[in-house]
Amino acid sequence: MEAMRKPILDIDERPAPAVWALLSTQHLFAMFGATVLVPLLTGLSPAVALVTSGCGTLAYILITGGRIPVYLGSSFAFIAPIISAITIGGIEGAMIGCLFAGLAYLLVALAIGGFGTGWLMRLLPPIVVGPVIMVIGLGLAGVAIDMAMNDPTTKAYSSLHFGVALFTLFVAILCALVLRGFFSLVPVLIAIAAGYLVALAAGLVDFSTVLDAPLFAVPDFTVPFVTHAPVIDWTILAIIVPVAIVTMAEHTGDQMVISKITGRNFLRTPGLHRSLAGDGVATMLAALLGGPPNTTYGENIGVVAITRVFSVWVIGGAAVLAVAFGFIGTVSALIQTVPTAVMGGVAIMLFGIIASSGLRMLIDNRVDFGETRNLVIASVILVLGIGGAFIQVTAEFKVAGMALAAIVGILLNLLIPGRPKALDPDAMFKPIEHRPAG
């Protein structure tokens, strides 16, 4: 039984070069669609986003001492604020706002480093953490289904696209359950390849961008004091910086997910203050080069969960590939030809695994839903988070989704009588036990 809990590759283990390349490529595919989608929606450069995503991940790995296997990509939370900021002060002004958002991360990290995380465990028992983790996964369900079911050009339902997505999902499930040895490490990559071939046969792949793309191209960086003179606009700061509150809550939730998956308490070692600092530095680095703010990616956490490959070397390899592909126009264009239906099929499983990790936390910690207290807290968190409830703070800023659900869950846990004694964090994040099918 104990052997089933062991990872295929642990955090500090480095795979052989050929295996390393394949495992890192799998993570590259997992993050690619979302990472380039944010700049496409905001008017920023996708190539710059790839470079800053890779550089930010490498900086994060360095700051956390190579102990947390997560990838950082473009944050969806900043899409609307960046669009608003660009209309006020252009891309340059928006990037200054993003720079200060990263600085907010560092200030919060400094505060946590001074006061420790013991208080955090008292605020976040399993009855709060488990449902919040479920919200992270299920909150992305709509994104996965939209990618799987709809034609990206018309935004309307397409049976062809949905069929390709379901085929990709079926291959991913089959690979995860049946494959053994090396092939069990890359089920997502195999599923994407299979789905791509079916999409190609169905006429869903467009190679025109690949044919027109240059082999080598320097991304269109936006660098203060090099391409422009930075100007601080307080209106832009008011629009962008408060979003950091939401993304820091999401960051904490992702740390809980990866802690649960790997059986380590990353909130204590290397510490939430270090992981927040790494995220903040990554966001500031992106802003200095003209890329969107970074955040830890649920897609890649899902890959870690399903493969049990915890190696930070693999994550670092994906970061290096992302930087390289940002400069290789042909390769970058080729990856962008992967249809959204294919990525949607894979996302259905990956996002679901995140949600299941939250459910498993409740089971492992024997949370009793026969107690009305627990039932109320979990129910409110799930409905607020998945239902998309929000509180409009100002015209530009609102607390919504997972952040609001987490805040309400914490308050309910503190206010409703019968709060249990805080659990040992190491017991709270003990490894998920993997059992073979059948």
Q: Are 209 and 330 in contact (CB under 8 A)?
A: no
Q: Are 353 and 81 in contact (CB under 8 A)?
A: no
For residue 169, which amino acid is it?
Answer: L
Q: For residue 185, what pLDDT is reported?
A: 66
Q: For residue 438, what pLDDT is reported?
A: 39
Rg (CA), the chain: 21
Mean pLDDT of 363-383: 92
Res. 77: pLDDT tops 90: no
Q: For residue 293, what pLDDT is reported?
A: 96
Whose CA is closest to 316, among 102, 70, 73? 70
Q: For residue 195, what pLDDT is reported?
A: 95
What is the Cβ-side half-sphere exposure of residue 304, based on CA atoms within 13 angstroms?
A: 33
Mean pLDDT of 174-197: 83
Res. 346: pLDDT tops 80: yes
Could you give the percent of the chain with pLDDT greater than 70? Answer: 91
CA distance 400 to 289: 29
Higher-pLDDT residue of 337, 201: 201
Higher-pLDDT residue of 324, 6: 324
Q: For residue 182, what pLDDT is reported?
A: 63
H-assigned helices in 16-125: 17-42, 46-63, 79-115, 118-123
pLDDT, tens digit (0-9, with 9 covering 90-100), for 303-332: 898 889 999 999 999 999 999 999 998 877
Domain ranges of the chain: 8-366
Interacting residues of 26 by C-beta distance below 8 A, sequence separation 6+? 186, 188, 189, 303, 307
Res. 405: pLDDT tops 80: yes
Q: For residue 350, what pLDDT is reported?
A: 80
Whose CA is closest to 247, among 289, 286, 305, 220? 286
State the pLDDT confidence band at 428, using cuts at 50, 70 and 90: low
pLDDT, tens digit (0-9, with 9 covering 90-100), for 40-67: 778 888 899 999 999 999 999 999 999 9
CA distance 303 to 133: 16
pLDDT, tens digit (0-9, with 9 covering 90-100), for 136-147: 788 878 888 998
Could you give the percent of the chain with pLDDT greater than 90? Answer: 42
Q: For residue 1, what pLDDT is reported?
A: 31
Q: Are 54 and 227 in contact (CB under 8 A)?
A: no
Res. 396: pLDDT tops 60: no
Q: For residue 388, what pLDDT is reported?
A: 81
